[in-house]
Chains A and B, each alone.
Chain A
Amino acid sequence: GDSVTQMEGPVTLSEEAFLTINCTYTATGYPSLFWYVQYPGEGLQLLLKATKADDKGSNKGFEATYRKETTSFHLEKGSVQVSDSAVYFCALSDSTGTASKLTFGTGTRLQVTL
């Protein structure tokens, strides 16, 4: 079945450091890929998405490129801020007909310090 593997956290960085959170996936079809973010005390929010190979999703300075050859969708940001501290979830949607569940990774907690 479908699965998502992402790097374990917590990841602790200083402000303005470069961020990479690795994500790889296994899927039978051609999934869409997503990064969701969960800030403390809040619900899941879509951060960015890519729907086909070589697409790059971007939002709020974060980027991720859909790499079919390596089945990866790594999240990157050039300069993190304290406000980026949150839990980040990689997910895929491999729809079959009208069924389109999201399969999530276990989440990576990011802590950014001054």
Chain B
Amino acid sequence: EAGVAQSPRYKIIEKRQSVAFWCNPISGHATLYWYQQILGQGPKLLIQFQNNGVVDDSQLPKDRFSAERLKGVDSTLKIQPAKLEDSAVYLCASSYTSGGTGTQYFGPGTRLLVL
């Protein structure tokens, strides 16, 4: 079974530029998550989708971050414009169900460096 796919794996941009990340979840997983992991910290949820609807985006900085999952499968996360503090690893995860006991499976992440 293929895991969660993410691209690109690495990205270097200058501040005020825009960047987009792509995620393809495990086939059949209705729930998709984007997390931000700053160096030395645990991952923090940015947004959760159930199919193509947003369930929780309370910690998404909506002035600069946006995300979509138009067909309920793959998803993109965009940052525009980027700030230095956005340097982090962006992790995508998926789960079969949205319940709290369900296991979330993580992709390899996209490492972003903002200069």
Residues of A within 8 A of B (CB): 4, 31-32, 36, 42-46, 49, 51, 89, 91, 93-95, 97-107
A31→B43 contact, CB < 8 A: no
**Residues of chain A contacted by B44 (CB below 8 angstroms):** 104
Q: Does chain A have a CB within 8 A of B61? A: no
Docked pose: A51 CA to B102 CA in angstroms: 9
B98→A45 contact, CB < 8 A: no
Docked pose: A106 CA to B48 CA in angstroms: 21
Q: Which 8 A-B pairs have the closest CB atoms?
A: A104-B42, A95-B100, A101-B45, A44-B106, A93-B100, A98-B98, A43-B108, A99-B56
Docked pose: A44 CA to B95 CA in angstroms: 14
Q: How many residues of B contact A (CB 8 A)?
A: 29
B42→A46 contact, CB < 8 A: no
Beyond A43-B106, A44-B43, A104-B42, list 17 extra A-B contacts (CB 8 Å).
A32-B101, A43-B107, A46-B103, A49-B103, A89-B42, A93-B101, A98-B50, A98-B98, A99-B48, A99-B98, A101-B45, A101-B56, A102-B104, A106-B40, A106-B42, A107-B40, A107-B42
Docked pose: A43 CA to B100 CA in angstroms: 21
A42→B99 contact, CB < 8 A: no
Docked pose: A104 CA to B109 CA in angstroms: 16
Find A100's partner among B31, B43, B105 (CB 8 Å cutoff). B31
B108→A106 contact, CB < 8 A: no
Q: Does chain A have a CB within 8 A of B21? A: no
**Residues of chain B contacted by A89 (CB below 8 angstroms):** 42-43
Docked pose: A55 CA to B69 CA in angstroms: 36
The minimal Cβ–Cβ distance linking B1 to chain A, given in whole angstroms, is: 14
**Residues of chain A contacted by B31 (CB below 8 angstroms):** 98, 100
Interface centre among A51, A97, A98 (most CB of B within 10 A): A98
Docked pose: A27 CA to B4 CA in angstroms: 29
